[in-house]
Amino acid sequence: MNDPHDTLSDLHLARLAARDERAFETLVRTHAPVVHRLAASLVGPGAADDIVQEVFIAAHKALKGFRGEASLSTWLHRITLNACHKALGARQAVPLEDTPEPHAPHDPARAGEQAQVRERLARALAQLPPDQREAVALRELSGLDYAEIAALTGAELGTVKSRINRGRAALRALLTRAGVTP
């Protein structure tokens, strides 16, 4: 049976989730994968699980005050970035580990190749300066546009574009040196 909350807009879902646990569960189910991807790109997948939990606990507490000035997704990204920055302040960044591809048929040879590429990408991403790593992760992993990233990070639009361009160039060079051909 389908959850009726699945068809609500993010704003309506957020308002309902402030007082309805089933709506909150739908909100988590909908947004947790994106939150996890962003957190994993910044702090590593082991710590990302803790970050996701922290993000949704913080979101649940703050939902009553959510007014929809920013999209729910942008609001959750901001909470995620804050949680990642807090975690990174306490320790060094941890590279991404292998994460399985969802809904992909299992091919051991292909899975091994993908794991190697992900490992090299994780190492390369971890070598970027934090501002570039954050901007690239928000763009490439979370799919945010430049204006959303600027609003989320508080950086000027030109600065965001520059960080993403420099980050992509650095990733390209790092991955080429690591044997991953573009």
Which domains, and CATH codes, for the chain? 1-94 (1.10.1740.10), 107-182 (1.10.10.10)
- pLDDT value, residue 168: 92
Tell me how far CA of residue 172 lies from CA of 68, 123, 156, in angstroms: 37, 12, 24
Q: Average the pLDDT over 21-39 and give the result.
A: 92
Q: Average the pLDDT over 62-82 and give the result.
A: 86
Task: Answer yes or no: is pLDDT of 98 > 50.
Answer: no
Task: Answer yes or no: is pLDDT of 91 > 70.
Answer: no
- pLDDT value, residue 79: 92
Task: Answer yes or no: is pLDDT of 93 > 50.
Answer: no
Query: Residue by residue, what is the 3-state secondary structure of the chain?
Result: CCCHHHHCCHHHHHHHHCCCHHHHHHHHHHHHHHHHHHHHHHHCHHHHHHHHHHHHHHHHHHHHHCCCCCCHHHHHHHHHHHHHHHHHHHCCCCCCCCCCCCCCCCCHHHHHHHHHHHHHHHHHHHHCCHHHHHHHHHHHHCCCCHHHHHHHHCCCHHHHHHHHHHHHHHHHHHHHHCCCCC
pLDDT digits 0-9 by tens, 149-161:
888 888 999 999 9
Q: How far apart are CA 165 and CA 4, in angstroms?
A: 41
- pLDDT value, residue 7: 57
% of the chain beyond a pLDDT of 70: 78
Q: What is the pTM of this model?
A: 0.64
Split at pLDDT 50, 70, 90, the class of 51 is: very high
Split at pLDDT 50, 70, 90, the class of 103 is: very low
- pLDDT value, residue 2: 56
Task: Answer yes or no: is pLDDT of 28 > 80.
Answer: yes
